[in-house]
A and B are shown apart, each in its own frame.
Chain A
């Protein structure tokens, strides 16, 4: 670095170092900046050497942490200097001082381009590095073709090419259009044949970015990735310098496996087998050793392999192998591995149902909650939260409560929120839930958000059985010497409402209750006093026969607060005082709180919102997001954004029933958000405290003012506290029923139906002509669902047997009802579940299609050309072989159609038809009458017109041929739901469209004729 002989620079640095304090330093820096600025301004003809000197000074000042907002032009102009030293300084300083938004950078584009297309490798590297670090959109547009050329050039050294790969990645990020998908996909595949591991690593990073954007275009890269992985795993042709602690380039292994996770699945059985062999090797062959660095490297590979196995939905055996490995990790001493073991277990929970296996490690995981490392404790908390269900909730929540007292302050809020949510979701009984929340408030009152105590009050109000218990419990807490203010709030609220239920117990007379509450008044803030005043008013009302002494005491308090400076307190005091003199009227006005309308817990909603991670693009995460854990369901598929149109479902639609209870106007069919509008909880809780007369009661007009105490709440809650009125709202389903059904035709578990009260999940296993479905009926409420009835209306071709459905589903519980299915013969008819229940006064009756569709009895089968053609020929003509031209097909790229068919278990057999526009499908159909029958399908598409195709089907059973033809047609003509978001689907690859029409003498066409 040619800085020698720059005496001025040396003096300046030395001055800076001799500064006694920051202030002196600043003065010296300002002086120098002034000096440099004048030089740049006045002396037009600065030599490159001088420029370089001043630019270095600027850089040094910048490194000291000062802003340098001039001289950028000079720095940029050095880039075009012909000689290395100046050019180098120009590039370095430009990269440091400027960012992509600087205008001056534009000036440099030409010089940078000249360096990139020039022959000097050093200059190429300098230019690529700068563009790779700060290049913006304009750079992307002007330089991408040149950078691509460098990357592909065989005459370039690896040193330049690997930089070109990452530079292109940067440009692609700035403007994805600079990489032309059609032209680039093949080149990308070629790049993966590279032998040099440096270039290959960079190319793999580029591929990861490209496939994360559009995996379909790059599917030819998939087998190459598997090959690279195989090469590394077998340590073939890996030079010494890329072997890190005995492991062949762990980075490249990791990147390659990351790239593979962006492909939704691996269809080719050979590729899949090879990959699973490699993965198996990694899973089995990694041990914890003494050397920390070797451990890190080998486990980097191992954890990536685990992620890939999870993504690929490996066979159960391999999955449990993964869980076993993770179980080993959560017990090892090595903290990094323990940390990642916990993290990956949490991830695993979300993708597969391995919960039972993970539960075996519960003791170990709980022990990690006491790890000296807070990072590990956090992971353990996340995992415990994720793995909690009805069976272990008691253990886990009690562990969390215990840990709360010793937990770091940084974790307490999260900890208490999580404990509260788990207690609510999985409470075996409600009194336990109340115990947990009260303990939380007691132990960590400062960290308990209002949501938590609002929620417990809602539960108590909605459950009559719980009220005396809760009242007795809060009273116990009030006897403690130090009581948190939140506890005072909850106690005042609950005792105000329900202490009269305890009146016969010792120490629970109205007077005694009043005096324990009133003891707390001097210790609380102004937000709590209004709640206390309400409680006093209610206690007074409940005191029968009236107690003169108590009344005087309470009146004295009201009188005292009549002149309170806080408007809220003053108003309550005045009004309660006036009201309590009215005697009987008080009874109406201060009547018990009505039940709250059921709604999703704001706590749970809050937690769910916090968990949505938009930045994350990895395939695993995407899947995990779709499957938020929920107490009530197996999986919870929320509709993708975009309002699903109300799909008519004919006679199978919901039977709408007028409802007695006011529900919020939630989830209409066309509504995007299935959640009820987030209600103002505070308004809910405190609003009804405000005094609102029952309909018809004569309420003095000033009381309306009182009801306004929580702002706008009264308008909403006015109706909530008037249960007398019959509302004609209906129970509406959440999400689109038809869409849910179609999704379940493609997969075997998910939600079939949901409304504000119930969620019906389904999980199915299919073997030959047998099916075993389990219906999960989850009561979402804090009150039981009664008169539950479920009837199956099977079509003629299915034998179905539903096990007994219990008549009552307890609050927040889930019941499982197995359903056995036997397929007798081919038919497209569907079974219907006729389901009804009662909630409060609501009678809900729903008829739902069950996803026991034709395709569920198909089993894909790979068929070779030698087997296929004789079969195809032997099944000649109708009724065994049918052909039809289908019009009005929803246009989609061929690859998408192939995916769709594959997901219906209609397995695409590539290579049988030489025409790339055609698809050949082989599958086996199972029914009791026919046993296994081979079905062969050929679909010929017209690249010029994607809305039509010709379909030929053949099987040994005429009904099957017909039914299957109709079934496939239904799926293609009006695809009810696209398996992936349509926005992500690329337009049909123009390459396919360019394929010329095959002339009659073409050998392929001849073969097609034979077909």
Chain B
């Protein structure tokens, strides 16, 4: 089971946190801080694994991927295959990349300057993640299938909006 998904930037600012086992908010934030403390000390070209049991308790594993200014971190237990989870990060990032044009600007996506777009982005990122991981289990591994599902939701959004203001980013990929 996947226990948590976190995205944080290289300054340690959390950009996304989803815990599949209930944890109070303060505890979540503490865990993110501790993960960042380990990640920021790691060199390039090392493995994608770090020791997780001291942070998340027994039977925890952690893989992460570093993209531009962001760390993508997945925490899971021994029922999952480490490299398969690493692949899943890649699927998540590739899907985000397709939706938001450029993975290198993801940090901006997570911190958009326009207030509304920020919330919208967060909404879409959560929607995408929900189509990939469901209750801590891998739901879909095909980026194309995830896109299809997200597209359907975006159509519904458009239809339900009187003032049809689809997020630019979203409308951008919708026409692809």
Contacts and interface: CB of A to CB of B under 8 A. Distances in A.
B50 interface: yes
A83 B160 contact: yes
Contact of B88 (A3, A67, A197, A251): A251
A205 B87 CA distance: 17
Interface string B73-88: 0000111011110111
B51 A375 contact: yes
B115 A201 contact: no
B119 A13 contact: yes
B90 interface: yes
Nearest to B50: A375
Given A336-B48, A339-B49, A251 B141 contact: yes
A10 interface: yes
Contacts of B156: 84, 122
Given A10-B115, A198-B142, A339-B49, A4 B161 contact: yes
Nearest to B23: A99
B78 A65 contact: no
A62 interface: yes
A56 interface: yes
B123 interface: yes
B55 interface: no
Contacts of B123: 1, 92
Contact of B46 (A62, A83, A299, A335): A335
Contact of A340 (B20, B83, B118, B157): B83
Contacts of A129: 130, 134
A681 to B, nearest CB: 26
A614 B58 contact: yes
Contacts of B175: none
B58 A250 contact: no
Interface stretch (A161-169, A639-647, A849-857, A986-994): A161-169
B86 A372 contact: no
Interface string A326-350: 0000000001101110000000000
Interface of chain A: mostly helix, strand, loop or mixed: helix
Contact of A300 (B87, B91, B120, B163): B87
A242 interface: yes
Given A13-B118, A198-B140, A336-B86, A133 B49 contact: no
B47 A163 contact: no
A249 interface: yes
Interface in A168-209: 169-170, 197-198, 201-202, 205, 208
Contacts of A208: 79
Contacts of B42: 373
A336 B84 contact: no
A249 B137 contact: no
Interface residues of B, number: 59
B50 A293 contact: no
A241 B145 contact: yes
A917 B29 CA distance: 58
A101 B22 CA distance: 10
A5 B141 contact: no
B49 A166 contact: no
A301 to B, nearest CB: 8
Nearest to B38: A374
Contact of A375 (B47, B79, B118, B142): B47
Contacts of B157: 1-2
A264 B24 CA distance: 39
A505 B145 CA distance: 83
Given A3-B116, A202-B137, A205-B137, A241 B84 contact: no
B122 interface: yes
B83 A296 contact: yes
B144 A241 contact: yes
Given A335-B46, A614-B58, A170 B135 contact: yes
B149 interface: yes
B81 A258 contact: yes
A587 interface: no
Most-contacted residue by chain B among A10, A17, A122, A254 (CB, 10 A)? A254
A340 B48 CA distance: 11
Interface stretch (A435-443, A559-567, A616-624): A616-624
Contact of B135 (A83, A167, A303): A167
Contacts of A336: 47-49, 82-83, 86
A372 B87 contact: no
A84 B81 contact: no
Contacts of B78: 615-616, 618, 621
Nearest to B62: A375
B90 A293 contact: yes
Interface string A50-68: 0000001000101101110
Given A162-B139, A202-B137, A300-B81, A13 B87 contact: no
B77 A300 contact: no
Interface string A9-43: 11001100100000000000000000000000000
A943 B40 CA distance: 64
Contacts of B160: 2, 83-85
B47 A339 contact: yes
A244 B144 contact: no
A547 to B, nearest CB: 54
Contact of A14 (B59, B81, B115, B135): B115
A169 B22 contact: no
Interface string B100-129: 000000000000000110111011101000
A132 B139 CA distance: 11
A570 to B, nearest CB: 41
Contacts of A67: 24-25
Contact of A244 (B43, B47, B87, B153): B87
A519 interface: no
A614 B58 CA distance: 9
Given A208-B79, A300-B87, A335-B45, A133 B20 contact: yes
Contacts of B50: 375
B138 interface: yes
A250 B84 contact: yes
Given A4-B161, A162-B140, A169-B137, A613 B59 contact: yes
Interface string B32-45: 00000000001101
A205 B48 CA distance: 24
Interface string A291-317: 001001101100110000000000000
Contact of A338 (B47, B122, B124): B47
B47 A4 contact: no
A159 interface: yes
Contacts of A99: 22
Given A241-B145, A244-B87, A615-B59, A378 B51 contact: yes
B81 A303 contact: yes
29 contacts: A1-B124, A1-B167, A3-B119, A13-B116, A65-B29, A129-B130, A163-B139, A170-B135, A198-B145, A201-B138, A201-B141, A212-B79, A241-B142, A242-B141, A249-B141, A251-B141, A297-B84, A299-B83, A300-B81, A300-B83, A300-B87, A303-B83, A304-B84, A340-B83, A373-B47, A375-B49, A376-B47, A613-B58, A618-B79
Sort A-B residue pairs by CB-CB distance and give the 8 closest, nearest first: A300-B83, A615-B59, A132-B135, A373-B46, A335-B47, A99-B22, A13-B115, A241-B144
Given A9-B119, A251-B138, A375-B49, 18 more contacts: A1-B157, A1-B167, A3-B116, A66-B25, A122-B153, A169-B135, A197-B142, A198-B141, A242-B142, A244-B91, A244-B141, A249-B141, A293-B90, A300-B82, A335-B47, A373-B46, A375-B47, A616-B59
